[in-house]
Structure 1
Amino acid sequence: MMRSWLSRFGTDRGANVAVIFALATVPLVYLLGMTTDYTQALRKKNQLDAAADAAAIAAVRPAMLLQTDSTAKAAAAAVFASTANSMTGLSSVPSPTINIVDSGLQRTVTVSYTAQSINNFGTLLRSATWAVGGTSTARAASAPNMNFYLVLDDSPSMAIGATQNDINNLISYTSSQPSASRSCGFACHETHPNLDSGANSSSVDNLTIARNNGVTLRIDL
């Protein structure tokens, strides 16, 4: 029965669908295997690209810019390894190539890698692994050194009372001063205040009044 059926199937010229399917099976299986392994390799590459990006950025962080090239390189390698060491489906753990170039205050870090993704259809593709690789570059510069100059007036030109009580006392003690200096909480040090406002040669400045009356000023603290 079976032999008769196979004989009829083999001699039947109307079985073109089965023949075409049989002929197409080989390339279809090949393409399926290649697609599967390529997708897997691409996923591994994306993971390693992200690791290379993180490694390059780690070497140009503000704190790392103050470190030596060797320290920055070690930090970048550690960041890359934290991802690469936990990955599966690679023939071996990839070791990155890290290049650091310093130019003035600027640092450029380049992280490169190569790896081999293991194929599931290695026999069919006649290749046990699929090569992947990538490069990431990061660049940053530290802030330039700047000099700041402060000009401070430590004279009692605008010396105010140290406390609210000192300010109130100074206002009281200067109530008889010429108009511009009268009832003022600042102990200014002009020699003859407001000569055009009723002052005379015996007039003293508010600083002298503060000193004579024991008023504590901010500059005394």
Structure 2
Amino acid sequence: MFISMLKDRSGNFAMMAALLMVVLCTTIGSAVDYTFALNARQKLQQSADSAAVGAIAEQSVGVLAALSKGSSGAIAEAEADAQQWFRANTDAQTLAYVTNFDFDVTRNSTTFTSRVEFHASVPTTFLKIIGKNSIDVAGSATGTYSPVTYTDFYLMLDNSPSMGLGATTSDISLLEANNGGCAFACHIAGNANDAYALAKSIGATLRIQVVASATQSMINTAKTTRRYNDQYRMALYTLGPKAANARLTEVAAMSSNLDDIKTSAGTIDLMSIAGKGENGYQQTDLLSALTTLKDTAGTGGSGLSAANRQKVVFLVSDGVEDANRPTGCLKTLSGATRCQQPIDTSVCTKIKANGVRIAVLYTTYLDVDSDSWYRKWIKPFHSEIATNMKACASDGLYFEVSPSSGVADAMNALFLKVVNMPRLTG
């Protein structure tokens, strides 16, 4: 009987099933525990990302402290701020898993750098069966910020007669219907045939009016976003109030009093002419105006102190030159001296070479096919206007917008782009 008992195999299935159940439960449990650990790590990584960026944001405690002190190296205030960011963005249960975290925030002459590292031990449930009580996870985040804190803006607004075009196609049609078929509201001051006064009386909006209002909106944005009274300074320029002396004209000197600059922007008007054909219509010399502005702005600085300011030329124009330029014109002259062409970008290159950025808002030069002069002289290069305006701008600082739709939004967006923001780098 003893030998027959040894040969009996009828209980093997139950034994094998029991062993397999242990393996199966361990495998399923491992998946559950590891998923839980990965979820915890993801939460901690998001907190680390937030801390790395928040600790060196433009308006953060550490950045403001370093800029006010003019200090470099480790920034204790920023490191403490990073810890608060990390804790504030992590729930209490997940934060309890953290076994070690390090914060390192430093500044060199031009850049703030933050690095956050964390290690955590996430408890297991099922893996305890095989003696594994926790799963270790780790992560890091790095951020850099090159602040443009102190900035001078040179706002150049094209107020030449072409900016007297109706702001929208409906405004153009309204002017044409009441202005002898002309879509431009020429400003003949004090004259009975002043189309500018006519435009106002019939409710036609001109692009110069839209631009002036948008400039005031942008100045409001600068005022509400600045951290120091002299953080942003502005100067305001046009091509002059009268065609008889059309050239770069200072409307408001460089100042940190943005309320005064805003008030001056509200006074900007269309350039007036003594009569049709004054100066042979050659009143939009963007090349000369920008050349003068290049010398006025000089060389741009790092922006890290009030004495070493970042500089930005802010150009708002329809992008077409009409100037007395018998030599050097990029297109065929009309007569002996009249040069009509898209903006000459050579001066933009020189400005940027001086470390001065250029923000360009191109108020689209609308097709005016009803105008014979436009068809003959402007339409042949119309497709080049936007191309040249974009080439004039610094990288990422170009917008094209219809004068009637979103000029204020575009100017605000350009301003905010100029003000650097922090970014994650790893």
1:196-211 matches, cutoff 5 A: none
1:29/1:80 Cα in 2 relative to 1: closer, same or farther (>3 Å)? same
Task: Please give the per-residue CA displacement for 1:16-70, whole angstroms capped at 9, x wherever unaligned.
Answer: 7655433311211211221111111111100000000000010121112332311
Matched, 1:111 2:121: no
Larger of the two Rg values belongs to structure? 1
In structure 1, runs of 5+ residues without a counterpart are: 1-9, 153-157, 159-221
Q: 1:123: Cα distance to partner?
A: 2.8
The partner residue of 2:82 within 76, 82, 97 is 76
Report what 2:65 is aligned to: 67
Q: 1:83: Cα distance to partner?
A: 3.1
In structure 2, runs of 5+ residues without a counterpart are: 1-6, 67-74, 155-234, 238-244, 246-426
1:80/1:91 Cα in 2 relative to 1: closer, same or farther (>3 Å)? closer
What amino acid is aligned across from residue 25 of structure 1 in structure 2? M
1:17-56 matches, cutoff 5 A: 18-56=14-52
Scaled by the length of structure 1, the TM-score of the pair is 0.54
Matched, 1:101 2:97: no
Q: Check conservation: 2:87, 2:95, Cα contact below 8 A.
A: no
Question: Using the alignment, how far apart are the partners of 2:95 and 2:21 within structure 1?
Answer: 29
Q: 1:12: Cα distance to partner?
A: 6.0
Task: Please give the per-residue CA displacement for 1:161-203, whole angstroms capped at 9, x wherever unaligned.
Answer: xxxxxxxxxxxxxxxxxxxxxxxxxxxxxxxxxxxxxxxxxxx
Q: Check conservation: 1:90, 1:118, Cα contact below 8 A.
A: no
The partner residue of 1:124 within 129, 143, 146 is 129
Q: Check conservation: 1:105, 1:143, Cα contact below 8 A.
A: no
Identity value in percent = 24
What amino acid is aligned across from residue 107 of structure 1 in structure 2? F
1:26/1:131 Cα in 2 relative to 1: closer, same or farther (>3 Å)? same
Report what 1:134 is aligned to: 139
Task: Please give the per-residue CA displacement for 1:117-172, whole angstroms capped at 9, x wherever unaligned.
Answer: 111135313122111111011111111655679799xxxxx9xxxxxxxxxxxxxx
The 3-state SS of whatever aligns with 2:128 is helix
Question: Using the alignment, how far apart are the partners of 1:125 and 1:45 within structure 2?
Answer: 23
Question: Using the alignment, how far apart are the partners of 2:52 and 2:21 within structure 1?
Answer: 46
Question: Using the alignment, how far apart are the partners of 1:148 and 1:33 within structure 2?
Answer: 62
CA RMSD of aligned residues (A): 3.3
1:26/1:113 Cα in 2 relative to 1: closer, same or farther (>3 Å)? same
Question: Using the alignment, how far apart are the partners of 2:236 and 2:42 within structure 1?
Answer: 57
What amino acid is aligned across from residue 67 of structure 1 in structure 2? A
Q: 1:92: Cα distance to partner?
A: 4.6
Scaled by the length of structure 2, the TM-score of the pair is 0.30
Number of residue pairs aligned between Structure 1 and Structure 2: 145
1:23/1:45 Cα in 2 relative to 1: closer, same or farther (>3 Å)? same
The 3-state SS of whatever aligns with 1:42 is helix
